[in-house]
Copies of this chain bind each other. A is one copy, B any other.
Amino acid sequence: MSSVTELGPRRIPSYVDSANQHAGGVVGIATVRDPHAALAHPSVVMCSACRLRAECLPGELERGALDALAGRLVSTRRKVAQGEPLFRAGDVFDSLFAIWTGFFKTVVMTRQGREQVTGFQMAGDLIGLDGIHAERMTVDAIALEDSQVCVIPFAGLQEVAREAPPLQERLHRLMSREIVNDHNSMLHLGSMYAEERLAAFLLELAARLEARGYSGSSLQLRMSRGELGSYLGLKLETVSRTFSRFQAQGLLDVSHRRISITDPDGLRQVIDGAEM
Residues of A within 8 A of B (CB): 108, 110-116, 118, 129-134, 138-139, 158, 161-163, 165, 168-169, 172-180, 182-187, 189-192, 230-233, 272, 275-276
Contact = CB atoms under 8 A, between A and B. Distances in A.
Given A116-B186, A158-B168, 7 more contacts: A108-B183, A108-B186, A114-B191, A115-B191, A118-B186, A175-B179, A179-B179
A130 B179 contact: yes
A184 B133 contact: no
Contacts of A192: 114
B112 A233 contact: no
Nearest to A113: B276
Given A112-B276, A168-B158, A189-B189, A179 B177 contact: no
A191 B112 CA distance: 12
Chain A interface helix/strand/loop/mixed: helix
Contacts of A112: 272, 275-276
A141 to B, nearest CB: 12
A168 B179 contact: no
Contacts of A186: 108, 116, 118, 182, 185-186, 189
Contact of A183 (B139, B230, B233): B139
Contacts of A232: 190
A163 B163 CA distance: 9
Contact of A162 (B134, B165, B183, B275): B165
A127 to B, nearest CB: 11
B131 A176 contact: yes
A238 to B, nearest CB: 13
A132 B173 CA distance: 6
- List the 8 closest pairs (A to B, CB-CB), nearest first: A132-B176, A182-B182, A190-B233, A189-B189, A133-B176, A116-B187, A133-B177, A175-B175
Contact of A276 (B114, B182, B191): B114
Contacts of A161: 162, 168
A113 B60 CA distance: 34
A190 B116 contact: yes
Contacts of A163: 162
Given A114-B191, A189-B189, A189-B233, A108 B184 contact: yes
Contacts of A231: 190
Contact of A132 (B115, B172, B230, B275): B172
Nearest to A233: B190
